């Protein structure tokens, strides 16, 4: 069994035209490809539904997955999408409900939506069965703003965790400074019973900060999506770091709190889900090339056991 705690379902109407145009210009510049070519390549990213995802998760040997949308729309350069944030999250729920034994959902909300965010979260969890709150602070907010505390108190009341993006790799107009995990540390300190998941485990810039935060915050967890790029381009660096982090102590050992994720479909062009699952399964063998010892049991915790426990499956 493999459990993926981070993947996306999406539809063109989840974002404004401005979002699609800004994204196309960014990828065109990044990859040196004409704008029209990029627009064509982006078409699959405008309708990635549960049917497509489940086909690909089956092929990758992934048994269960947490799926979610993203709420970028409060960013002033992006603007509201054709669908409301309620409609977007409900679409994700309806998609996931087609595969009730495989898919679970998170409710993506920008906490700047205030009272509306609290009402939506409550409905999402109580009526729709969603499993937690998903934040993407790069849209333009520090997650430890005290005006968001009532939303976190609602998470506690509903007994669901907060998942938040922590990685500096983000295209314009989104801003990496808001992805610094130190602002989640403040929430973890203020709400020691609130479970917080550091999405992407800080990636290249913030992973040591994530590890350090987890040392004293037993309510903080992490997942490894996004590391496909490091695994491909700098495997020795990735494996040495992973070895150190698995060995790190803490109130709750780090090795019991790291989970597996893919961020599908975002990283498919770098390393597809099947290759990423196989890469992680093969870490004990790969480690030997660099004189590093990994036990199958440690990898099993990342791929299965930690998420199973965390998601109460």
The residues that touch Zn ion, with contacts defined as CB under 5 A, are 263
- Cα–Cα distance for residue pair 42/60, rounded to 1 Å: 22
Residue 88 beta carbon to Zn ion: minimum distance, rounded to whole angstroms: 14
211: tokens are: 């590890």
User: Which of these, 84, 134, 77, lies nearest to 109 by C-alpha position?
Assistant: 134
Half-sphere exposure of 195 (CA within 13 A, CB side): 16
Residue 45 beta carbon to Zn ion: minimum distance, rounded to whole angstroms: 12
Please, which residues have CB within 8 angstroms of residue 80's CB and are 6 or more apart in sequence? 16, 73
Residue 7 beta carbon to Zn ion: minimum distance, rounded to whole angstroms: 8
Please, which residues have CB within 8 angstroms of residue 116's CB and are 6 or more apart in sequence? 85
83 vs 264 by CB, closer to Zn ion: 264
Residue 46 beta carbon to Zn ion: minimum distance, rounded to whole angstroms: 16
Sign of CA dihedral 257, 7, 262, 137: negative
144 vs 263 by CB, closer to Zn ion: 263
User: Which of these, 250, 252, 261, lies nearest to 311 by C-alpha position?
Assistant: 261
171 vs 291 by CB, closer to Zn ion: 171
Residue number, nearest CB to Zn ion: 263
Residue 68 beta carbon to Zn ion: minimum distance, rounded to whole angstroms: 7
Residue 6 beta carbon to Zn ion: minimum distance, rounded to whole angstroms: 6
Residue 248 beta carbon to Zn ion: minimum distance, rounded to whole angstroms: 25
263 vs 268 by CB, closer to Zn ion: 263
90 vs 200 by CB, closer to Zn ion: 200
Contacts 24+ apart (CB under 8 A), 18-21: 18/77, 18/78, 18/79, 19/72, 19/73, 19/78, 19/79, 19/81, 20/46
- Cα–Cα distance for residue pair 225/223, rounded to 1 Å: 6
Residue 87 parent element (H or E): helix 85-97
How is 183-212 classified by DSSP, letter by letter? HHHHHHHH-TTS-EEEEGGGHHHHHHHHHH
6 vs 90 by CB, closer to Zn ion: 6
185 vs 263 by CB, closer to Zn ion: 263
């Amino acid at each position: 069994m493999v459990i993926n705690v981070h993947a996306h379902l999406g539809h063109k109407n989840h974002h404004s035209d401005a979002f699609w145009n800004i994204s196309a210009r960014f990828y065109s510049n990044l990859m040196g490809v004409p704008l029209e070519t990029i627009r064509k390549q982006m078409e699959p990213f405008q309708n990635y539904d549960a049917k497509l995802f489940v086909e690909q998760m089956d092929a990758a040997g992934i048994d269960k997955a947490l799926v979610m949308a993203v709420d970028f729309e409060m960013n002033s350069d992006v603007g509201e999408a054709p669908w409301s944030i309620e409609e977007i999250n409900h679409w994700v729920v309806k998609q996931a409900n087609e595969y009730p034994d495989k898919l679970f959902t998170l409710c993506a909300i920008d906490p700047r939506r205030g009272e509306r965010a609290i009402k939506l979260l409550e409905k999402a969890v109580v009526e729709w069965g969603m499993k937690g709150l998903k934040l993407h602070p790069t849209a333009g907010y520090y997650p430890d703003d005290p005006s968001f505390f009532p939303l976190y108190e609602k998470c506690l009341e509903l007994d669901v965790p907060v998942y938040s993006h922590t990685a500096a790799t983000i295209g314009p107009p989104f801003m990496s400074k808001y992805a610094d995990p130190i602002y989640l540390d403040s929430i973890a300190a203020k709400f020691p019973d609130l479970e917080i998941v550091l999405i992407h485990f800080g990636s290249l810039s913030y992973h040591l900060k994530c590890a350090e935060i987890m040392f004293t915050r037993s309510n903080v967890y992490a997942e490894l999506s996004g590391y496909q790029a490091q695994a491909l381009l700098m495997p020795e660096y990735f494996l040495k770091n992973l070895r150190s982090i698995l060995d790190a102590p803490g109130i709750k050992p780090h090795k019991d709190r790291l989970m597996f994720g893919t961020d599908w479909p975002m990283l498919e062009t770098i390393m597809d889900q099947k290759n990423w699952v196989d890469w992680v399964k093969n870490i004990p063998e790969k480690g030997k090339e660099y004189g590093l010892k990994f036990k199958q049991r440690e990898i099993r915790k990342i791929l299965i056991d930690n998420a199973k426990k965390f998601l109460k499956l």
